[in-house]
Structure 1
Amino acid sequence: MHRHDTYAIGCTLSGVQSFRYRGAVCNSLPGGTIVLHPDEPHDGQAGTDDGFHYRIAYVEPSEIQAVLGGRPLPFIQGGISADLRLLSVASRILRDVDDPIEPFEYEDALFELANALEAAANRVSLRQRRLVNYAAAEIARQYLAERPEAVTLEQLETICGQDRWSLSRDFRVLFGTSPYRYLTMRRLAAVKTMLRDGSGLADAAFSAGFADQSHMTRQFSKAFGVSPGRWLTLTREAR
């Protein structure tokens, strides 16, 4: 089991792709779209002895929000959608590695993806939109993305001009995770980069803003399902 603070959007190309998600076992077949919500624990394995092939992309919730402009982040029940519009848009992004997508084309597809997700989730609500302070939450997200040091909700409250509990609620609605989880994942992303560049575990943990190496290792293993050392070994073997 592991999690991402991004959307995981994919398509099964052949076979049966099984995963545990929100207390249920889901089986993805060709012709559907997998949409795992940010920060939701899941795993993945073949559903039959024949194995499976798939492609998946990890899309930042902030990119979806850049299109939605403050409407609640779309949630696909069950993690799999049969919506043909969503499948068509996802296929534009899930390209072969030999056919890279151009930045302009990606932005165009991203706009369609955000709207297709919203339509498939059927969660458009003007009342909800009025209740969510997107501007304040986006200020908080940018602040957390740029600063690995410890912060508090009280500090974010001062920076954003919104009371801490409303900000915490809105952040979850808009970006699919809590402010603390978002900061933790930014720190872990920094740790990955430093480990790939040759830093030691203790130095990477300190530079990324963790209290110590043990704290970082616990958070890393909880998020990615493997220890930092094991992850680094697998990364080197894959090169």
Structure 2
Amino acid sequence: MRSVAIDIGNTGTKYGIFSEEGALVRQGYFEGQDQLPEELLNQAFAHAIVASVAQSTQPIQQRLSVTGKLVELTAQTALPVSNRYKTPQTLGVDRIAGAVGASYLFPNRNCLVFDAGTCITHDFIDSEGCYQGGGISPGLTMKFKALHTFTQRLPLVQRTGDAFPLTGQTTEESIRSGVLAGTVAELNGFIQAYTEKAADLVVILCGGDAGFFESNLKGRIFVIPELVLIGLHRILTHNV
């Protein structure tokens, strides 16, 4: 019987359906907890895990049919990695799930995970399976909106395509340079710093803006959109 992992984010919800052998066989996305896809409502699952960075998970939990264990990922949930975060109760569940997924896919490797969504997070898990922490900064859309919202005259610029000027020659180009080129430089700086700190570093990207960074960051990058779902399923397996 299949299992399901559900990741409730700031802007929408992702889900992954896993086979009995642990393979990800279906995944999808929906908005609003009252809009559960039919494939989640019309079958019973052996086990399930639900994680949320914002909303309550109860509406979804109540609508799932689970014959075995239903896990809500919290700071008290047992993990297959060691968590060195000083305030685990404040750690985003998507961050720890991404780190678990990276450690599972790249065992005995130092992993740096960037999740480029509403926020851009980076998380480091070492080759011994110890999650060390990371950082949080505004995502691309948030940066564009902040420049418009907190100034009197700067326009709201939309990200159209992946190209950006290094030297902006209009106000719109200057904003695109500052946000896009600036954030690329930010991530390249983190990669360089962690490369100097951790040998044999694996850099992994996920999140809605992962494609933009894949084409603009230096070095070898693994883009794994389903990383958080894989990590959630690994945590579920650890708790069954």
TM-score by length of 1: 0.28
Task: Return the structure number with greater strand share.
Answer: 2
Q: Write 1 or 2 for the structure with the bigger share of helix.
A: 1
State the TM-score, normalizing by the size of structure 2: 0.28
